Amino acid sequence: MVGSNHQIDVITGTGGGCTSIQTSKINDGQLKHYESVKNTAVLIVAGGGGGAVTHRYSEYNHRWCGTGGAGGGLAGVVGEIFNKGEIDDTHQRSLLPTAGTQDSAGVGYNATTNIGSGGFGYGMSISDGYHSAGGGGGWYGGGASYYGATAGGSGYIGGVSNGNTIAGNESMPSTSGGTETGHTGNGYCKITWHPSL
């Protein structure tokens, strides 16, 4: 993205969606439509990670980037902001967002001002699509702050037995065998039928 009076280069990423299993289909099946029946109709949610952003503002020699926090686990993970300003080289422009938990969605900031939050089933987005990427979806979605960092959404284990949820920054079974730390690309769900059950 390039402005008319000064160069601005921005690369942002959307937050990852969540993968969820429900007992019925409501509307288009997106998790956000299940909030009123979340305790009875939602079985499993794998939270998504937040997006990342890099930003160069050449007129003032500003550079900053932010990482997207991992999703999953009982609470998502908060990313980091790395800044370089023209004065002190460590200028932090905004408070870090918060991640989705079992009880609430993550929030995001512009400097120290709370500017919104994610919600049940979805991560926070910043409406100008310019200074930040989006938070990750999940049982409750993660927040997104201006100038970089985002947070992941939480996972959830409901009407199943012997289940657990693992955050994306921890080792987990890989869809291709073995283990992996985090998962890139599309979400993945494998269901195996056991007739004896």
Which residue carries 């079974």 as its tokens? 173
Vertex 51 angle, CA 114 and 47, to 5°:
90
78: number of Cβ within 10 Å: 23
From residue 30, alpha-carbon distances to 17, 135, 156, 173 in Å are 10, 16, 15, 25
Collapsed DSSP state (helix, strand, coil) of residue 83: strand
Q: What is the pLDDT of residues 57-104, one digit of tens each?
A: 555 555 667 788 999 899 999 998 776 544 444 555 678 899 999 999
The length of the chain in residues reads 197
State the pTM of this model. Answer: 0.84
Please list the ranges in the chain whose pLDDT falls under 50.
1-7, 85-89
Distance CA 47, CA 68 (A): 13
